[in-house]
A and B are shown apart, each in its own frame.
Chain A
Amino acid sequence: AQSVAQPEDQVNVAEGNPLTVKCTYSVSGNPYLFWYVQYPNRGLQFLLKYITGDNLVKGSYGFEAEFNKSQTSFHLKKPSALVSDSALYFCAVRDPFRSGANNLFFGTGTRLTVIP
């Protein structure tokens, strides 16, 4: 069963506009949720995570994400997009089937393009 889903393969936004990259999860218990960004031919860079506590999580490069338990969502947001934000974004959850290993299960990714 899918643990985390990114419903949009591609998101386009104009520079300076707010951006949202969507993620929904389906795990029992308390989910540990993460956002990573990947630039072309590069590894994954950690942006932010939600473990517990405040539903609004602030991360690197001005990004933030809101954990919404009732909607089982963890959307990534930024108030004002930059061209340099153009990249592939992955939502991830701690693998709910192997909690001991603490490996990540990734969504399919969303390619964000910020148009100048």
Chain B
Amino acid sequence: DTEVTQTPKHLVMGMTNKKSLKCEQHMGHRAMYWYKQKAKKPPELMFVYSYEKLSINESVPSRFSPECPNSSLLNLHLHALQPEDSALYLCASKEIASTDTQYFGPGTRLTVL
């Protein structure tokens, strides 16, 4: 099973709202990732967690706050977003070994009004 699940599939929020995106995998992967993808563009890395610890933050604005409560879950907390933050947010996971494959979830389509 190479499934990564993400909820919700779609999210519409106002600029003053607080919401969270959730990602879950049960493959025993110890590296998890958040990517942001704008329409017709490649995914861009936001955050990397290794062994539940944040290892990379790609200078993402603080209105995005990641959290990894355990080895199967990855959250992205959203607060005071801007309309330009509207995008597809993709979660991925992989084994720690460098040669292993990243598996992606279906994404959450976020619209900020």
B101 touches A101 (CB 8 A): no
User: Looking at chain B, what size class is its interface with the partner chain?
Assistant: 20 to 34
A11 to chain B minimum Cβ distance, whole angstroms, is 15
A-B contact count (CB 8 A): 64
A-B contact pairs, 21 of them (CB 8 A): A32-B98, A32-B99, A34-B101, A42-B106, A44-B43, A44-B104, A46-B101, A46-B104, A49-B101, A88-B40, A90-B42, A90-B43, A94-B98, A101-B31, A102-B94, A102-B96, A102-B98, A102-B100, A103-B45, A104-B43, A104-B45
Binary contact track B35-60/A, C-beta < 8 Å → 1, others 0 = 00000111101001010000110000
A100 touches B55 (CB 8 A): yes
Write out the residue numbers on chain A whose beta carbons fall within 8 Å of the beta carbon of B33.
103
Alpha-carbon separation in the docked complex, A92 to B31 (Å): 18
Alpha-carbon separation in the docked complex, A34 to B103 (Å): 12
Is B66 interfacial (CB-CB < 8 Å)?
A: no
Choose among B41, B50, B104, B106 the residue that contacts A101 (Cβ–Cβ < 8 A).
Answer: B50
Is A99 interfacial (CB-CB < 8 Å)?
A: yes
Choose among A41, A43, A88, A108 the residue that contacts B104 (Cβ–Cβ < 8 A).
Answer: A43
Q: Which residues, 1 to 36 on B, are CB-close (under 8 Å) to A?
A: 2, 4, 6, 31, 33
- From A46, which residue of chain B is reached at the shortest CB distance? B101
B104 touches A36 (CB 8 A): yes
Is A56 interfacial (CB-CB < 8 Å)?
A: no
- From A102, which residue of chain B is reached at the shortest CB distance? B98
Binary contact track B72-108/A, C-beta < 8 Å → 1, others 0 = 0000000000000000101010101011111111110
* Overall SS of chain A's interface: loop
B48 to chain A minimum Cβ distance, whole angstroms, is 5
Alpha-carbon separation in the docked complex, A108 to B107 (Å): 18
Taking A34-B101, A45-B104, A103-B102 as known contacts, 11 extra A-B pairs with beta carbons closer than 8 A to each other, sorted by chain A number, are A41-B107, A42-B106, A43-B90, A44-B43, A46-B101, A46-B102, A46-B104, A88-B40, A90-B43, A99-B98, A107-B42
B56 touches A103 (CB 8 A): yes
